[in-house]
Amino acid sequence: MGMSMNLNIHKTTQYILMGVGLLVLPLILQSFGNAWVRIADMALLYILLAIGLNIVVGYAGLLDLGYVAFFAVGAYMYGLLSSPHLINTFTTMASTFPDGLHMSIWLILPLAAALAGLFGMLLGAPTLKLRGDYLAIVTLGFGEIIRVFLNNLDHPVNITNGPKGLDQIDPISIFGVNLGKKLMVGDFEIASVTLYYYLFLSLVLVTILISHRLEMSRIGRAWMAIREDEIAAKAMGLNTRNLKLLAFGMGATFGGVSGAMFAGFQGFISPESFSLMESVMIVAMVVLGGLGYLPGVILGAILLSALPEVLRYVAGPLQEMTGGRLDASILRQLLVALAMIVIMLMRPRGLWPSPEHGKSLTPK
């Protein structure tokens, strides 16, 4: 009993120290420049996306290469409802909303989550019979269809503004605090990017809690049964159709929320931000970290979102050494790819795989 109490105290101390570290981190990074806090902000958004995709790929075992489509749906939902674009396009709306559509984040966030979840189920419905490579190809096509639609819905009626994108998007405001402006606490200045960091961190913590509770629930266990053997799961009486649809819908919901946050954070969105490469990177985060294991997925998201930015400082000197013959951005992608190959060769189950994986195979 004494040992278990000591373990609990030790674990609580670890969580407290981790929490303090996460709260202080942006204030330390801020002293080195806002660019570093911005990298942390983007890493948190990618964690949100990776946790959402982990529900589909990690828990239910459904390979989704079009996940960025739900990210785009959430971003455009926020962009359209908090920018002057719709008022400029539909003049009849100007009389109803003379000051423009500047809707509250508390209204947009549920709408973005619901719309992305609906799109997730729309994607899931025709793919219920597919698995493996065939499912991956269909989801990849879905992601590209959404991007092409966003690129071309600027005529005959200009809804998305096409390749020019949406600008003048309102920054996020929470409890009267405009996160687009710096906040003064006494003589201490908290930058806008730091305020966004705390918002994104709160969302990530809520998402981790929801995802963990889902994993431990009957639904989570049913998803894992489908992942391991769908025919056996169906034979045991599980409604695999509804469970698959739920996995697609739940995963897409997190993507929609992340997209809405991204639009408010950037202030500008365009279809180029939602390319196939983004989907591939999110899948790589989940697989590289550890499929179906939350700590691993978070680690993978942090590494793959922060590593390219850190490698900027390596690629520059290497370009100079080659006399400028190698492009720095291409060199950076090459270094990221090499790092991923080395990790997957050395740790084929991911950097931080689930400790329960293969437990039944160990001799007693």
| pLDDT at 109 (0 to 100) | 93
**CA-to-CA distance for 53 and 68, rounded, in angstroms?**
10
Q: Is the peptide bond before 110 cis (omega within 30 degrees of 0)?
A: no
What are the phi and psi torsion angles at 177 (to 5°)? -95, 120
**Digit-coded pLDDT (tens) for 94-117:** 777 766 677 889 999 999 999 999
Tokens found for residue 122: 């729309």
Question: Which residues are within 8 A (CB) of 117 and not within 5 positions of it... i.e. 6 or more apart?
Answer: 249, 250, 252, 253, 256
| Least confident piece of the model among 34-38, 122-126, 308-312 | 308-312
Phi and psi angles of residue 36, each rounded to the nearest 5 degrees, phi first = -70, -35
Q: Is 190 helix (H, G, I), strand (E, B) or coil?
A: strand
Residue 226: is its pLDDT beyond 70? Answer: yes
Class of residue 341 by CB neighbours under 10 A (exposed 0-12, middle 13-18, buried 19+): exposed
Q: What is the DSSP string of 191-249?
A: -HHHHHHHHHHHHHHHHHHHHHHHHHSHHHHHHHHHHH-HHHHHHTT--HHHHHHHHHH
Helix (H, G, I), strand (E, B) or coil at 168: coil
Task: Tell me the DSSP string of 250-316.
Answer: HHHHHHHHHHHHHHHHHS-B-GGGG-HHHHHHHHHHHHHH-TT-HHHHHHHHHHHHHHHHHTHHHHH
Q: What confidence tier does 15 reach under pLDDT thresholds 50, 70, 90?
A: confident
Q: What is the distance between the alpha carbons of residues 118 and 271, in angstroms, rounded to a whole number?
A: 20
**Where does the pLDDT of residue 360 fall: very low under 50, low under 70, confident under 90, or very high at 90 and above?**
very low
Beta strands in 76-176 (DSSP E): 173-174
Q: Give me the chain's average pLDDT, please.
A: 87
Q: What is the dihedral of CA 64, 69, 71, 77, to 10 degrees?
A: -150
pLDDT tens column, 265-319? 999 999 999 998 899 889 999 998 988 899 999 999 999 888 877 777 777 777 7
Percent of the chain beyond pLDDT 90? 49
Burial class for 230, CB neighbours closer than 10 Å (0-12, 13-18, 19+): middle
Residues 148, 271: Cα–Cα separation, whole Å:
8
Q: Are 108 and 260 in contact (CB under 8 A)?
A: yes
pLDDT digits over 232-269, tens only?
Answer: 999 999 999 999 999 999 999 999 999 999 999 999 99
Residue at 16: amino acid letter: I
pLDDT at 362: 46
**pLDDT of the residue at 336:** 77
Q: pLDDT by residue (tens digit) across 48-100?
A: 999 999 999 999 999 899 999 999 999 999 999 998 888 888 777 777 776 66
Q: How many angstroms separate the CA atoms of 187 and 221, rounded?
A: 52
At 303, which amino acid appears? L
Distance CA 46, CA 255 (A): 10
Task: Note the maximum CA span of the chain.
Answer: 74
The reported pLDDT for the residue numbered 317 is 77
Confidence of residue 364 (pLDDT cuts 50, 70, 90): very low
Q: What is residue 150's predicted lDDT score, i.e. its pLDDT?
A: 93
* Higher pLDDT among residues 165 and 311, named by residue: 165
Tell me the two tokens of residue 268: 């500008």
Structure confidence at residue 12 (pLDDT): 84
For residue 37, the surrounding DSSP H or E stretch is helix 34-53
In the prediction, which pLDDT does 1 show? 56
Tokens 């979840």 identify what position? Answer: 117
With both helix axes pointing from N to C terminus, report the angle between 34-53 and 276-289 in degrees, rounded to the nearest 10.
80
Identify which of 18, 16, 77, 44 has the alpha carbon closest to the alpha carbon of residue 202: 44
